[in-house]
């Protein structure tokens, strides 16, 4: 098992929720199923929060402490570049609090969701194809500790 397998599993869970929400992105569907959309958004927010905390508290600092200069640079870049994405997602989740906000403006929810999910999908892709590959192929001092509180299914 690769040292980033747990983070990759978290990505799969996050992207599964993204897909479930995307399946509801039709104005008529959202009015009828706004409660389901909101519940999925709550689940996504929770999983994403835990994943981001694990990266911020363990993954990125571990990279930044590496003796391997390219990995240090990647750790710094990924930590820095995640900040605006995280702020955007937080603002999005706060804006769409409650099923009534979704049902009363389904087109707005769709537009915001597509924008946020596009950025999130690109970020996941970059982590999977750049950062996690570098970690899995990196030197011994790049070993990533898996957070003890983060077990499959809890993220």
In angstroms, rounded to a whole number, what is the distance separating the alpha carbons of residues 39 and 47? 13
pLDDT of residue 154: 39
Residue bearing tokens 């990647």: 74
Query: 49 pLDDT band (50/70/90 cuts)?
Result: very high
What pLDDT does residue 153 have? 43
| Inter-helix orientation angle 34-54/5-22, to 10° | 160
Query: What is the pTM for the complete model shown?
Result: 0.88
| Residue 140, pLDDT score | 62
Question: Looking at 36-50, 62-76, 119-133, which range is the least confident one?
Answer: 62-76
Give the dihedral of Cα atoms 98, 112, 89, 115; nearest 10 deg. Answer: 160
pLDDT at 142: 59
Query: Which pLDDT score is estimated for 131?
Result: 93
C-alpha to C-alpha distance for 149 and 22, rounded to whole angstroms? 29
Q: Mean pLDDT of all residues in the chain? A: 90
Q: How far apart are the first and last CA of the chain?
A: 19
DSSP code per residue over the chain: --TTHHHHHHHHHHHHHHHHHHTT-SHHHHHHTHHHHHHHHHHHHHHHHHHHHHIIIIIHHHHHT-S-HHHHHHHHHHHHHHHHHHHHHHHHHHHT-SHHHHHH-HHHHHHHHHHHHHHHHHHHHHIIIIIHHHHHHS-GGGPPPPPTT--TT--
């Amino acid at each position: 098992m690769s040292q980033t397998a747990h983070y990759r599993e978290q990505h799969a869970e996050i992207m599964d929720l993204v897909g479930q929400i995307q399946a509801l992105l039709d104005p008529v569907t959202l009015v009828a199923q706004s409660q389901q959309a909101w519940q999925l958004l709550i689940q996504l927010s929770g999983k994403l929060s835990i994943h981001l905390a694990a990266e911020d508290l363990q993954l990125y600092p571990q990279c930044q402490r590496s003796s391997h200069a390219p990995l240090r640079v990647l750790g710094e870049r990924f930590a820095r570049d995640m900040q605006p994405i995280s702020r955007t997602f937080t603002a999005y989740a706060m804006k769409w609090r409650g099923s009534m906000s979704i049902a009363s403006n389904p087109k707005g929810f769709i537009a915001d969701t597509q924008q946020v999910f596009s950025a999130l999908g690109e970020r996941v892709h970059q982590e999977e194809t750049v950062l996690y590959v570098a970690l899995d192929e990196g030197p011994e001092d790049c070993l990533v500790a898996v957070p003890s509180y983060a077990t499959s299914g809890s993220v």
